[in-house]
Structure 1
Amino acid sequence: MEKQRTPKNIFVQGPISPEKIGQSIANHSSKTDIGGHCIFLGQVRADEKEDGKVTSILYSAYEEMALQKAFEIREDIFAKYPLTCMHIYHSLGEVKVGEICLFVFTSSKHRKAAIDACEELVERIKKEVPVWGKEIVENGTDVWKENR
């Protein structure tokens, strides 16, 4: 009987720490059927805006809808690729320039599935999950970020 997957909370308050990323990688060392991992780390950039440089992004989400959409995307990706594991973490709240705001981690028996799944997962998260970022500029101006 196949295990029923349930929605997981993908949200982390503030930046995603290097320790969380490292621990996530270490947790997979005992899973000896994995031959490849693919990791994407989204980092806040110091983009130059009309009023100055971005210093941080304030992330917010319609959480219930976002978690349901992330769950649907996970299910689609698991159905399409022969993955062993998949993890998604997205920041809420303030994340400063240079800090990590998105961590996507896919694992499979062979590298190609992990790489392809990771790329599709990141693209779909950016396009479909209702998470918004307000860029905070050094002079105090706030600008809503557009995903590209």
Structure 2
Amino acid sequence: MSEKKPKKVFMEGPIPPEKIAKSIANHQSKTNIGAHSIFLGQVRADEIEGKVVKGIDYSAYEDMAEKAFHEIRESAFEKYDMTCCHIYHSLGMVKTGELCLFVFTSSAHRKVAIEACEYLVEEIKANVPIFGKEVFEDDSHKWKVNQ
């Protein structure tokens, strides 16, 4: 792994759509990029045991999670010829319909950007210690095992 400084991944609350638009706009000056791939994770209003989810309250072992994010990001750079990679994940309450995960990859070519984005999402879901507590409309809750 390289000795790059880890980037801050977590943000409190939902990921604002304006952050995504700004990330895209910031890459217009990088003329060596030919493709971007974006994954957006959104909280669903699932019905579980007759109750409807109104949001997910995310928590994490932040130091461990930030380290895992960094390792996954660096492994993606080793595996794929990416130009840029940005990852953001929510902490705290995120209501249904709001965004909780933003993965943004850039490359000279679309196939690389798409494959790298998919790789990152799957690695994050499998290996980062983030926990979600589903909060129902009646304010009861249930821990969500795999997000």
Q: TM-score range by the shorter chain?
A: over 0.9
CA distance in 1, matches of 2:146, 2:104: 20
What fraction of aligned residue pairs are identical, expressed as a percent?
A: 62
* Structure 1 residue runs of 4 or more that deviate by more than 4 Å after TM superposition: none
Could you state the TM-score of these two structures normalised by the residue count of structure 2?
A: 0.97
Alignment pair present for 1:65 and 2:68: no
Q: CA RMSD in A?
A: 1.1
Alignment pair present for 1:48 and 2:74: no
Q: Deviations over 1:98-127 (max 9, x none)?
A: 000000000000000000000010001011
Could you state the TM-score of these two structures normalised by the residue count of structure 1?
A: 0.96
Q: Which residue of 2 aligns with 1:128?
A: 127
Q: Secondary structure of 1:95's match?
A: strand
Q: Deviations over 1:20-53 (max 9, x none)?
A: 0100100000000000000000000000011410
Q: Which residue of 2 aligns with 1:14?
A: 13
CA distance in 2, matches of 1:40, 1:147: 17
CA distance in 1, matches of 2:119, 2:32: 23
Q: Which residue of 1 aligns with 2:101?
A: 102
Query: Which structure 2 residue ranges, 5 or more long, are not aligned?
Result: none
Q: Deviations over 1:80-109 (max 9, x none)?
A: 000000000000000000000000000000
CA distance in 1, matches of 2:78, 2:16: 30
CA distance in 1, matches of 2:10, 2:122: 18
Q: Which residue of 2 aligns with 1:146?
A: 145
Count of aligned pairs between the two proteins: 146
CA distance in 2, matches of 1:108, 1:147: 29
1:8: how far off? 1.0
